[in-house]
Amino acid sequence: MTVTAAPPAMRETGEPVVAAKHRNPVRFAVLIALLVLLLLMLAPLLVVALNAIKSPSEYASGGPLSLPGHLYWDGIVNFWNRVDFGQKLWNSFLTSLVVAVLGVVVSILNAYALGIGRVKGRIWFLVFFLVANLLPQEVLVYPLYYLSKQVGLYDNVISIMIIFTVIQSAFGTYLLTSVYAQFPTELLDAAAVDGAGRWRTLWRVVVPVSRPTLGVLFTFFFIWTWNEFFLPLVFLISNDNQTVPVALGVLQGDRLMDATTTSASALIGILPAMLFFVIFQRTLTRGITAGAIK
Amino acid sequence: MAGKKGYAVYLIPGVILSVAVIVVPLVMTVYTSFTKWNGVGDQKWIGFDNYTRLFEDSLFWSSFGHILLLILAMAVVPTLLGLVLAAVLFDYIGKHFGDRWAAVFRSGFYLPQVIPVAVTGIVWGWILHPDYGALNKILDSIGLTGLAKNWLGDPKYALYSVMGVMIWFQLGYPIVMFMSGLQRVDPALYEAADLDGATWWQRFRKITVYLIRPEFYVVLVTTTIAALKIFGQIFVLTGGGPSNSTLVPSYFAYKNFFEKAQVGYGSAISTVLTVLIIVLAIVFLRLQNRAEKAGA
């Protein structure tokens, strides 16, 4: 990159070098403009963080942009205890983890049959999974709600786990099938020569080789499920079963929510997401692009 | 290549789950859309009545009208803005200040996408709150009290406020997608353009935009579909109000299902929304194929 960035031809003419010097102030203007834009993008989150650690009286006197005179954790602590936030975090974590694991497993099994096994009618299966990806959840919600009541899984995280395993694996199957369609046949043949059956080949050859893609899928499924709002809102009505987004979302407009409590609630909703973002960042950026070129 | 038989068994768990969670509910919703049902008791077959009622319902039309504006805010503006920003970050900031700077900007712009939609709704609901919200307080403190509005509570401004929030929310996605697409571009092309004396803008239009068309289509389709499906932000920010000025189809369906117990009518709304999304996806795929063929 560094070598090609300054081709020798440019120096010979002389003119572009002069032009580059003239452009220097422009460069910094562009950088500063972008920094301002970035600050504007992050401002809402920064304002939330600032006011989450401010006492209500300080907010009343100093407004939203004043720096807090002292750190005030009561807003966060009180809110945490009031909604039993630890329980919500656990519900969200458990749901997301189970969905991510099961979603990846189902995607692997489907993609093994479709991408490597090329079973009959595979195009129709793929069309089905593609359409399943597109469906708005509203078109599934009422029957799912009705059926889950019939089988006694309404207001139970298990119903959410099953539903999201299927929804996420529809995307996973679609993505992973195209990856497996290009799986090196030599590896499969070698496994067959060694006398490995299909089941063994899948877990000993296919899965280890495709581990990077599976990691991306796992990350996606986890974060997507963590962030889901609509179906958990409908299914998880009792306090003990709610996930983080539902617990926070239904409190909006509550009389007990003043400015600092609201920002405290927003901050503890943002923090886990930021944590995942930092942990998964590498996988995430790789993964967004992996899903793109299809 | 190994024999093709015996793989079908691996599809069994996936097929059983898909039938239970997707196929059966989908068929039930479409059936229900032809009935009158309050969620308990018997469903009464009424043919196309829900649909004729739907097409005469001004709320239904206005909810789709709102979606058009939200497509502008969630798909068109972020895609165009993201395209310019991605190109600036990739071949201006990246080249003159280093890839690190570009990566920092990219992460920063992407951050709103990572936070749960319900939580971004809370953040903005608080900032835009008429009494204690940060925006009005700030306007007050710099003497612009006259500009302070009831951003989400006034039917005149609510939808525009939501649109602003959605641009903020969506912008990072096209930037990340386009920047990864630009990695494919051969640096020699840019150098050739430089040698020919092309300006940055010419290069952007003739090379950058042309080469990342695949990403462009993917971003436009996925963001448009996301706009059609929008629910969480509306639920948290406005609840479809005030006086239905921010009502969207998914929230309209939700209200009929769970607040008004008009399950048949809600099903008809969801069915129309689903058909619309699938038609849109097909049209986009067609356009993309044609563009790829024309480009080859």
Give the confidence band of A17 by pLDDT, cuts at 50, 70, 90: very low
Confidence of residue B288 (pLDDT cuts 50, 70, 90): confident
CA distance A278 to B110: 12
d(CA A217, CA A207): 13
Structure confidence by residue, pLDDT tens digits, A61-108: 877 777 887 888 888 888 898 888 999 999 999 999 999 999 999 999
**Which range, A192-206, B174-188, B280-294, has the best average confidence (pLDDT)?**
A192-206
Is residue B39 scored above 60 in pLDDT? yes
Mean pLDDT for chain A overall: 84
Domain edges within chain A: 2-62, 84-250
Any residues with CB less than 8 A from the CB of A262 and at least 6 apart, and which? Answer: B122, B125, B126, B129
Residue B22 inside a domain? The answer is no
Q: Say if the Cβ atoms of A131 and B114 lie within 8 Å.
A: no
Please report the sign of the dihedral spanned by the C-alpha atoms of residue B6, residue B10, residue B15, residue B20. Answer: positive
Q: Is residue B17 part of a domain?
A: no
Angle of CA points A79, A83, A84, to nearest 5°: 105
Alpha-carbon distances, residue A166 vs A160, A161, B84, B91, B226 (angstroms): 10, 9, 37, 41, 19
What CA–CA distance (Å, rounded) separates A102 from A112?
15
* Choice between A252 and A240, residue whose per-residue pLDDT is larger: A240
B279 in any annotated domain: yes
Minimum distance, in Å, between the CA of residue A283 and any CA atom of chain B: 13
Question: What is the third-level CATH fold of A84-250?
Answer: MetI-like fold (1.10.3720)
Q: Is the pTM of this model over 0.95?
A: no
Residues 6+ apart with CB under 8 A from B12: none
For residue A30, CA distances in Å to A34, B156, B167, B205, B208 come to 6, 35, 21, 19, 19
Rounded Cα gap, residues B157 and B135, in angstroms: 14
- In this prediction, residues B267-275 reach a mean pLDDT of 95
Chain A residues inside the 8 Å CB shell of B118: 227, 229, 245-246, 248-249, 269
Q: For residue B101, which residues of chain A lie inside 8 Å, CB to CB?
A: 31
Mean local confidence (pLDDT), A106-128? 93
The per-residue pLDDT for range B97-147, each reduced to its tens digit, is 888 888 889 889 999 988 998 889 888 988 898 887 888 888 888 877 778
A73 vs chain B: nearest CA distance in angstroms? 18
Residue B14 lies in a domain: no
Residue type, B171: L
Which residues lie below 8 Å from residue B108, measured CB to CB, with a gap of 6+?
Answer: A38, A41, A42
Per-residue confidence (pLDDT) for residue A290, from 0 to 100: 52
Q: Which residue has the tokens 């079973």?
A: A119
Cα–Cα dist B96/B82, whole Å: 20
Report the alpha-carbon distance of residue B234 to residue B244 in Å, rounded. Answer: 11
Contact A192, B48 (CB under 8 A): no
Name the residue in chain A with its Cα closest to that of B227.
A136
Residue B24 domain-assigned (yes or no): no
Here the tokens at position B192 are 């050739």
Candidates B18, B32, B126; nearest CB to A166: B18
Q: Residue B169 and residue B161: Cα distance in Å, rounded? A: 12
Whether B81 shows a pLDDT value over 50: the answer reads: yes
Contact B232, B121 (CB under 8 A): yes
Query: Does residue A9 have a pLDDT over 70?
Result: no
Mean of pLDDT values over B15-39: 95
Cis peptide preceding B242, ω within 30 of 0: yes
Burial B39-63 (b: 16+ CB within 10 A, else e): beeebeeeeebbbeebeeeeebebb
Higher-confidence residue of A254 and A216: namely A216
- Other Cβ atoms less than 10 A from the Cβ of B199: the count is 10
Residue B256 clears pLDDT 80, i.e. is over it: yes
- Nearest residue of B to residue A147, measured between CA atoms: B25
Q: Within 13 Å of residue B166, how many CA atoms lie on the same side as its CB? A: 30
Is there a contact between A236 and A242 (Cβ–Cβ < 8 Å)?
A: yes
Q: How far apart are CA B180 and CA A140, in angstroms?
A: 34
Question: Would B217 be classed as within a structural domain?
Answer: yes
Instruction: Among A5, A223, A229, select the one facing B118 at the smallest CB separation.
Output: A229
DSSP label at residue A238: S
In this predicted structure, the answer to whether residue A20 has a pLDDT above a threshold of 70 is: no
In a domain, B32, yes or no: no
Q: Which residue has the higher pLDDT, B79 or B101?
A: B79
List CB contacts of B295: < 8 A, sequence separation 6 or more.
B210, B213
Name B45's bridge partners. B35
Q: Are A63 and B96 inside 8 Å of each other by CB?
A: no
Predicted pLDDT at B2 = 42
In this predicted structure, what is the pLDDT of residue A18? 42
Percent of chain A residues topping a pLDDT of 70: 86
Q: How many domains does chain B have?
A: 1
* Residues above pLDDT 90, as percent of chain B: 48
The model's confidence at residue B212, banded by pLDDT at 50, 70 and 90, is confident
> What is the ipTM for the molecules in this complex?
0.87
**Mean pLDDT score of chain B:** 88
Residue of B229 and B212 predicted with greater confidence:
B229
Tell me which of A142, A145, A202, A258 to substitute to probe the interface with B (most B C-beta atoms closer than 10 Å). Answer: A142
Q: What percent of chain A has pLDDT over 90?
A: 44
Which pLDDT does position B182 carry in this prediction? 85
A201-247: pLDDT as tens digits: 999 999 998 888 898 889 889 989 999 999 999 999 888 999 999 99
Number of A/B CB contacts below 8 angstroms equals 288
Q: How confident is the model at residue A255 (pLDDT cuts 50, 70, 90)?
A: low
**CATH of residue B155:** 1.10.3720.10
State the Cα–Cα distance between residues A239 and A87, nearest whole angstrom. Answer: 9
User: For residue A284, what pLDDT is reported?
Assistant: 59
Tell me the mean pLDDT in the region B31-41: 92
Query: So what's the pLDDT on residue B114?
Result: 87
Three-class SS of chain B: CCCCCCCHHHHHHHHHHHHHHHHHHHHHHHHHCCEECCCCCCCEECCCHHHHHHHHCHHHHHHHHHHHHHHHHHHHHHHHHHHHHHHHHHHHHHHHHCHHHHHHHHHHHHHHHHCCHHHHHHHHHHHCCCCCCHHHHHHHHCCCHHHCCCCCCCCCCHHHHHHHHHHHHHCHHHHHHHHHHHCCCCHHHHHHHHHCCCCHHHHHHHHHHHHCHHHHHHHHHHHHHHHHHCCHHHHHHCCCCCCCCCCCHHHHHHHHHHCCCCHHHHHHHHHHHHHHHHHHHHHHHHHHHHHHHHHC
Buried b (16+ CB within 10 A) or exposed e, A9-43: ebeeeeebeeeeeebeeeeeebbeebeebbeebee
Q: Which domain holds residue B264?
A: 44-295
Residue-level pLDDT at B144: 79
Is there a domain that residue B247 lies in? Answer: yes
pLDDT digits (tens, 9 = 90+) for A133-175: 899 999 999 999 999 999 999 999 999 999 999 999 999 998 8
Q: What is the pLDDT of residue A293?
A: 38
B221, pLDDT greater than 60? yes
Across the interface, whether the CB atoms of B195 and A9 are under 8 A apart is answered yes
A-chain residues near B122 (CB < 8 A): 248-249, 252, 262, 265-266, 269
